[in-house]
Homo-oligomer: A and B are copies of this chain.
Amino acid sequence: MGLARVLPILRWLPDYGRGALASDLLAAVIVTLMLVPQALAYALLAGLPPEVGLYASMLPLLLYALFGTSATLAVGPVAVASLMTASALSGIAAPGSAEYVAAALVLAALSGLVLVAMGLLRLGFLANFLSHPVISGFVTASGILIAASQLRHLLGVEASGHNLLEMGAALIAGLEHVHFTTLATGLAVWAYLVGSRRYLAGGFARLGLSQGAAALLAKAAPVSAVIVTTLLAWGLGFGERGVALVGEVPSGLPTLAMPSVDPALWSTLAPAAVLISLVGFVESVSVAQTLAAKRRQRIDPNQELIALGLANLGAGTSGGSPVSGGFSRSVVNFEAGAATPLAGAFTALGIAVATLALTAPLAFLPKATLAATIIVAVGTLIDLPAIKRTWAYSRSDGAAMLATLALTLLHGVESGILAGVGLSLALHLYRTSRPHSAVVGRVPGSEHFRNVRRHAVETDERLAILRIDESLYFANARYLEDTVMALAARQPGLRHVVLACQAVNVIDASALESLEAINARLRDAAIALHLAEVKGPVMDRLAHTDFCRALTGRVYLSTYDAWRALHDERATETSPAACGGAGLAGGEASRAPAAGPEPITGTALAVGRFRTHRGDYP
């Protein structure tokens, strides 16, 4: 069992049968047909030689099959990670140079280390820093940036930039040099791919294929575009006519090698590696969970961190760029019936065969074909209606999404996502900086208490009961101080404040400090502070604190108990629990007088009057 936790493959391999093998092999064939052009295209997008994309589609897939917990997640080069790779490497070397490729391997290895470390330290929750609006805005902006960056390959011009403004300016400047054969090739492929998305599945179905099989086969349309344009380029001598081709791809499988260990390079790439890791992890887990749920399977997010991390380490040591789980390939893998992670391993074998067999013809593949493939593929990333939907649901979430989107487009991927994270944290702090609370009064004749602003309830000018509707922690603790002190300043006759804590699950050290400050300040104003309805675990912690010893008032089991003790004259009839052990104080009332109706004057109240010591109780 211990080894199976580390190597999830051991859980299902013993039961692996012929049926699963057939399903996995079929899925692998279809995914391989999708992955060959995508691997080449995403390498182009990342500014890397085509073989880097192929290398990233072998060892990483094998490693994920060993360590991953999703049966259907298709790991490999993906669009967003490739864009982020291009952005991270842009300042380091010229795209395509040996130095640039070496840095890409370092980036993959670093991402792998980050992910494995997060998995071992169970830090998966850090992915929560990326709230949904931030991820959504970022992915939409990435899709737009990616499409814009590929226009130059469609137009056959030189143009680059790290944001939409730079790209636009470079493209406009390059318009006079548009290469028409390139443009014609690109537009034809684009039109074919868009058309095939709409009509190809239907066409296959009319030829007698089942709906599912037809839809799957239609996903392989880019392969046919690659084959046809490669043949055209070879037959018509596109290369001599000035069409940019993929060019010579080294034959053979990648060799294993340690990536460069240059501390300066590592520290330069570290922030980008963290961002690529987090974004890749969030997207992969989300796809994997959605697909797993369809079969009532589960994936283990912490194990996914380790599996994705090892996949990236594999990429970095076998000549590949950063990898993660791809959305479209995973869906195809699922629909093609992949039964186990072995489907991914078989895909890796398929890519290896392609790499060995196809390097000679691939030299003739026009880059415009790949660019058109990318542009069509990233269409699924762009979700503009989400902005309107999110804005309508919540202004602050909408603002975080828009800020991430705008900054990513106009300044770059890293500043975009960092600003989004910062803004959503700040908005979160803002939202939670005011804990929901309400001054409550007694529903006449009952034991119920309701908001004084909304209900006709009984109140007492010497007594304020504040119901706190949330846990208290550093983000909202100071506002509680303000709220209570405002109550005290507003109500001159106030003698008792009761905090009703039925909704408080946690009081952190900052909030404890605030409660101490509230207690001390109320004491200086000759007002006693009481608690009511404190939950067991919260009370257990409070019992050991100075706050509890210094508390000027009592801890009541219920708000009604507090009301009876502090409002009614019959104070001694109540049985308040004393601080130091909620519910322990059955006979407490006889030992110390309850904080009753007698006026409290001066700060003498503070010292010892209602003080209880833990030692008081058996």
User: What residues make up the interface of A, taking CB atoms closer than 8 Å to B?
Assistant: 125-129, 131-133, 286, 289-290, 292-294, 296-298, 301, 389-390, 392-394, 396-398, 401, 424-426, 428-431, 433, 436, 469-471, 473-479, 481-482, 485-486, 488-489, 492, 503, 505-506, 508-510, 512-514, 517, 520-522, 524-525, 541, 544-546
Contacts and interface: CB of A to CB of B under 8 A. Distances in A.
A457 to B, nearest CB: 18
A478 B430 CA distance: 21
B474 A132 contact: yes
15 contacts: A126-B429, A128-B429, A128-B477, A289-B485, A289-B521, A293-B485, A296-B492, A297-B489, A393-B509, A394-B509, A397-B508, A397-B510, A398-B509, A428-B475, A503-B503
A128 B474 contact: yes
A133 B425 contact: no
A509 B129 contact: no
B293 A541 contact: no
A145 B401 CA distance: 42
Contacts of A470: 470-471, 505
Dominant SS among interface residues on chain A: helix
A392 B544 contact: yes
B290 A517 contact: yes
Residue of A292, A294, A428, A509 with highest tally of chain B CB at under 10 A: A509
Given A393-B545, A485-B293, A525-B296, A133 B509 contact: yes
Contacts of A397: 508-510
Contacts of A125: 429-430, 433, 475, 479
Residue of A293, A503, A506 with highest tally of chain B CB at under 10 A: A293
Given A290-B521, A297-B489, A425-B425, A128 B433 contact: yes
A548 to B, nearest CB: 11
Instruction: Give the 5 A-B CB pairs with smallest separation, nearest first.
Output: A293-B521, A397-B509, A131-B474, A132-B510, A125-B433
Given A128-B475, A132-B474, A469-B505, 7 more contacts: A125-B430, A131-B510, A132-B510, A298-B485, A397-B510, A424-B474, A469-B503
Contacts of A428: 473-475, 508
A195 to B, nearest CB: 29
